[in-house]
A and B are shown apart, each in its own frame.
Chain A
Amino acid sequence: MDVIILQLLNGLDKGGAYALIALGLTLIFGTLGVVNFAHGALFMLGAFCAVTFNKLLSLEIVTTDPTKTTAWGTPLEIRTPYIEAYLGDFGNWVLNYSVPVSILLAIPVMLLFGFIMERGLIKHFYNRAHADQILVTFGLAIVLQEIIKSIFGANPIPQTAPDAVRGAADIGAALGMDPGVIVYPYWRMVYLAFAGAIIAAVFAFLQFTTFGMVVRAGMADRHTVGLLGINIERRFTIVFAIAAVVAGLAGVMYTPILPPDYHMGMDFLVLSFVVVVVGGMGSLPGAVAAGFLLGILQSFASMNEIKAILPGIDQIIIYLVAVVILLVRPRGLLGRKGVMEN
């Protein structure tokens, strides 16, 4: 029983991450009709916003101590973070909360980046073949990750969650079960809540604002909306920027779980495409549903009891489920006819 609950939690958590990335991807599909292979790179850029923020905070005053030397004979350097030197305790607090606080940095950065990317590049590919879109965005993804690599190196860079949410919570005890049976990290719960909040915000935005209504109409029938004299293109730019922000924030908040490195976007890329397609191209609820479904199934397939019967099932479960779903439901869980079918 406890195993099931734990794996369910794992699945929800994983699903939250998948859904967040897939959400932006499917938004871009649905509105702009663009296959964005650089979406993983946007996720990675978000994560590196957190890294950059942390690095900025930890900029150090370097003084040398001539009386001591390093093992290779140069004078020993003594480093004191600026922020600690100037702001004292508040500085420490900010450093402690650097991951959540860096959201403040990530939002404008990702907005700007999404805006530039759409206006400067994606815009010109609306009417090009999907293959061309794939090639150009894939090229962009490589360029972005190589730039990150040349700045930050290839090694993962650890980011820590704030002290207050660093450990694990004993959920079991809180529910009256034996203590220590169901333990779950605070940060993962924070991430799950965060994912839920972002998903809800995006849905609310599309559901309850006029802007959202136009975008939804555009997703349904772009041509007609264009005929109504509504400048749909400008709105799509904003949609793209929003998708970039969603991916970026997903990246920021994921850093304490997965120390970011330059390649993390590519690692998520294929998976997020599978999620989007299983959900149905251009369907936001579909992407969210598929994200959670695949996350949960993956968690359960990894259980020892199941692996004992079907060795290696955890390695292929996502793809297996994708195949089955696509064969049973031609357009994924909630896909519409005619989107990306040719």
Chain B
Amino acid sequence: MSLIRKPLNRRSILRAGALGGAALATPTIFTSRAWSAGYLNEPTGAEVVLGFNVPQTGAYADEGADELRAYQLAVKHLNGEGDGGLLNTFSSKELQGNGVNGKKVAFVTGDTQTKSDAARASAKRMIEKDGAIMITGGSSSGVAIAVQSLCQEAGVIFMAGLTHSNDTTGKDKRKNGFRHFFNTEMSGAALAPVLKNNYGTDRKAYHLTADYTWGWSQEESIKKYTEGMGWETTAAVRTPLGAGDFSQYITPVLNSGADVLVLNHYGKDMVNSLTQAVQFGLRDKQVNGKDFVIVVPLYSRLMAQGAGENVKGIFGSTNWHWSLQDEGSKAFVKSFGQEYGFPPSQAAHTCYVQTLLYADAAQRAGTFDPCAIAAALEGFEFDGMGNGPTLYRAEDHQCFKDVLVVKGKENPSSQFDLLEVVEITPRSQVEYPADLLGGELGACNNGA
């Protein structure tokens, strides 16, 4: 009996009740959208609450942990603690390090478990219980799209974390949702010229694709751009998510006549399929008189760590990398590194930037009303955030910026130094018309 009483100890319960919602002056019982004044969760006290919804359990937990570090850093900087980070290099100078709109920034956290249901439950808690005015985070497209549509229905802003599928700002785009991260379309556009320069135009590609929407999205984009430059697609094989052992999908590649293997996998799938493909000696093969090569269109540092030395020399694209030498990147790496002792990942970067962009938009709008913030973000041009001059396009809420093409480093100097930037593809090359990916933003919802 004492066992079950323990976690429900009265005193800790009362304190748990006060959890995170020290900011919450109003009782949450019977708060409803109709009840609040101008818009949902309008901050009335001295604080404004942001919801950081990241994977804390499951395969992307480490990525989520890095995102959370970045968020905490961003909150510090917004509240004037630390060295200010990117606030110093950000082209917009509205934020003064004294909070946003005169309110101190507070935050609540939650676990998405990389499951749509859990992510939405967590986001709802933040909105309904903790009074969060903005939700951000996530490490996969399914979750991002699910939470984005939730935020649209509820009436708060969603600042997407790591999500690479075209759909997030394509057919599933929403007026309340914004994405800083790049997408498969941009990956394809950025990667193709580099592949052409390195591997020529006469290549036969074999795709292994994770069998869900993001995988299909990436396969389609890469096919489109590589076929555009003369490559042939031998086969595109769908593999089940979390297959673990990919040998039965890799062996058919051996004698398919293909000389390029494109792995449209992410996370653990990519780590496993790449490791195993290399084990099968694919990279030592000669086909059609050419060296067989592997391409991983979407890279992350954590994946590179997981795949170890197998990534050496393999091309891929990424949103940002800590070895960039522009002022913004240097400032971010410096303040993150000093705080945590290692360089930030691209997931950390995009989450940090998203938080700052949101805060800046709120400051410029002079309110936390989602519709005013959305208007302030739409068409916003900025610089100094590590990706060069960037535009938040009004038509689909997608950021347009330079895309990095990277390659697994041959001689890494540390466990974080695994990728080298081979090319910074300029923004103009990866832009596409807003109606290319379909979808409709719909109307803004402020929850009132």
Contacts and interface: CB of A to CB of B under 8 A. Distances in A.
Q: Do the two shown chains form a genuine complex with each other?
A: yes
Interface of A: 2-3, 6-7, 9-11, 13-14, 17, 70-74, 149, 153-158, 160-161, 166-168, 180-181, 183-185, 187-188, 256-259, 261, 263-264, 267-268, 298-299, 302-304, 307, 312, 314-315
Interface of B: 58-62, 65, 211, 235, 237-238, 240, 242, 244-245, 247-249, 251-252, 254-255, 268, 271-272, 275-276, 279-281, 284-285, 302, 305-310, 322-323, 330, 333-338, 341, 343
Given A259-B275, A304-B237, A312-B211, 13 more contacts: A6-B254, A17-B245, A71-B323, A71-B343, A74-B337, A74-B338, A154-B58, A154-B61, A156-B306, A180-B254, A256-B279, A259-B307, A264-B244
A168 B305 CA distance: 23
A158 B309 contact: yes
Contact of B240 (A7, A185, A314): A314
B192 to A, nearest CB: 25
Nearest to B284: A167
A183 B240 contact: no
Contacts of A268: 244
A250 to B, nearest CB: 13
Given A155-B306, A160-B308, A259-B308, A187 B279 contact: yes
Max count, chain B CB within 10 A of own CB: residue among A14, A187, A256, A302: A302
B423 to A, nearest CB: 20
B62 A154 contact: yes
A198 B92 CA distance: 65
Max count, chain A CB within 10 A of own CB: residue among B235, B279, B302, B336: B279
Q: Taking chain B's interface residues, is the majority helix, strand, or loop, or is none over half, making it mixed? A: helix
B249 A158 contact: no
A153 B247 contact: no
A168 B306 contact: no
A3 B252 contact: yes
A299 B306 CA distance: 25
Max count, chain A CB within 10 A of own CB: residue among B238, B245, B284, B330: B245
Contacts of B271: 156, 158, 259
Contacts of A180: 254, 285
A307 to B, nearest CB: 7
Given A7-B251, A257-B279, A299-B248, A315 B240 contact: yes
Contacts of A3: 251-252, 255
A158 B275 contact: yes
B338 A72 contact: yes
Contacts of A74: 337-338, 341
Contacts of A166: 279
A71 B247 contact: no
Contacts of B336: 72
A261 B308 CA distance: 13
11 contacts: A6-B254, A73-B338, A154-B62, A155-B305, A156-B306, A158-B305, A183-B254, A259-B271, A259-B275, A268-B244, A304-B237
